[in-house]
Amino acid sequence: MSTSLEGIRVLDLTRVLAGPYCSMILGDLGAEVIKVEAPGGSDDTRKWGPPFQEGISAYYLCANRNKKSMTVDLKSSEGKEIIHKLVKRSDVVMHNFKTGTMERLGLDYKALNEINPRIVYCSITGFGETGPYKNLPGYDFIIQAMSGLMSITGDEHSGPQKLGIAITDVLTGLYACIGIQSALLERQKSGKGQMIDLSLYDAAVSSLINIGSNYLMSGEVPERLGNQHANIVPYQTFYSSDGEMVIAVGNDRQFRSLCRLLGQPQLSEDPRFITNPDRVAHRQQLTPLLQKAFSKQSTAYWKELCDKEGVPFGPIQTINELVQDPQLQARKMFLQTDHPKAGRIKLIGSPLKLSRTPTVLSHYPPDPGEHTSEILDGLGYSEEEIKRMIHDQSI
C-alpha cells in the first residue's frame, strides 16, 4: 500500500523535540527521512533519562521512528560536500540550530537554494530568524513562561504553572509539518522551493486562541482559573464520591440534560443559569450547587449517566489507565516494534488515520550513524572513501 509522502526525501538536521517530532510525522506519512548528527551522535535526547531500555533513552524513542541515521561533521569541507550532494537529491531540509549557525556553516537557505532551487528549507528556532530576540536560545520552558501560557495555567493559589509536556515544541513541530507540506504543494505549481521561518515563541502565542482574543477585545488581563473555563460554565473538574472528573457542557441543551440527570431540573430554569453568559456571570453561585450533587455518587456512576444522556464527561485517567483504554486500543494508538539493542519497544502511534495511504511504522528509532555507509554508497562514494572518512572521524 502506498503512502502519502512516498518519494519525498527529508534531510533532517534537527535534534531534541520540535524538529524531530515534525520529521517523525513526515516519516510516518511515508517520506524518506535522513537524520543527520555529528559523529558519535549529537541529539541531546539520546542521553535524557532515565528511563533507559538497554541504554536507549525513552525520550529519544518518542520522536525518532521511521528515519535513517547518518553522522557527518558539518564543519569539515568533506562534510559540507556530503550535505550538498544530499541537498541535490532532497526535497526538504530542516534544522533547529541557533540563528546564524547555518550561515557560518555555509548551509543557509540562500546557499542551498543555489544548489537545488526546488528545496523547501525549514528553520526552527526559539524566537525566529528576525527581531531583537533572534539570537537568544529558546527552550520550551522559557517559551511557556514568556508566551503567557504559564500566566494562565494553574490557579490563584498555585502560581504560574507549565504544562506537563513540552507543548511549545509539539506545537512548533506540527506547524512545521503544515508549512513543509504547504510549500511542497505550492512547488507543484511554481517549481520553486522556499524558506519557512518558524519560532517556538510565535507558535506558543498562536496557541493562546480564545484567551488571547479575550484580552485583545476586552483589555482585561486573564486570571488563572485552574480547571475552569474562561468562557463556558460548567466546564471544569468536579469531585465525585470516589475521585475527580471533568464535565464539559458546551451549550444550553447539554446543561438542561445535566440538571435532569442530577435530579436538579430547576437549576436549568433559574434565571441566573438559563444561558451560558448567565452561568458565566453566576459561576460562583452555580458551581457549589453542582458539586454538592456530584459528591453523592461515584465517577463510574456519573460516567454511565452522562454518556447515556449525551453530556460531555471524562474521568481523569492516569497514564497507566489510558494505555488500557479500549478506545485507544481500537485506534491502534500504542505500537510495538523490535530494536536491535533495546529489544521490544513500545511507542505512541500516529493519530493520522488516512483511508488509502495509512501511516506506517517501517523502522525503529535508529542508532547514530546506523545508515551512514548505506547513504554514502547511494551518493557514489567508494567503500575505501567511506572507510577513510570513518577512520578520520569525519562521519
The amino acid present at 164, given as its one-letter code, is G
Q: Where are the beta strands (DSSP E) in 276-393?
A: 313-315, 334-339, 343-348
CA atoms within 13 A on the CB side of 212: 10
The amino acid present at 25, given as its one-letter code, is I
Count the Cβ atoms, other than its own, within 10 Å of residue 78.
14
Q: Of the residues 12, 169, 278, 338, which is catalytic?
A: 169
Crossing angle of the two packed helices 252-261 and 299-309, in degrees rounded to 10: 130
- Residue 169 annotated among the catalytic residues of the structure: yes
Residue showing cell 558519535: 40
**Residues belonging to the chain:** 395
Backbone φ and ψ for 343, nearest 5 degrees, come out as 80, -145
Partners of 15 in beta bridges: none
**Cis peptide preceding 50, ω within 30 of 0:** yes
Partners of 112 in beta bridges: none
Whole-number Å distance between alpha carbons of 324 and 128: 40
* H or E element in which residue 175 lies: helix 167-190
The amino acid present at 207, given as its one-letter code, is S
On whether the CB atoms of residues 310 and 250 are closer than 8 A, the answer is no
On whether the CB atoms of residues 172 and 124 are closer than 8 A, the answer is yes
Q: Which three cell numbers, joined as nine digits, stand for 70?
A: 547518518
On whether the CB atoms of residues 132 and 61 are closer than 8 A, the answer is no
On whether the CB atoms of residues 41 and 7 are closer than 8 A, the answer is no
- Look at residue 338 and give its three-state secondary structure: strand
Question: Which of the residues are catalytic?
Answer: 169
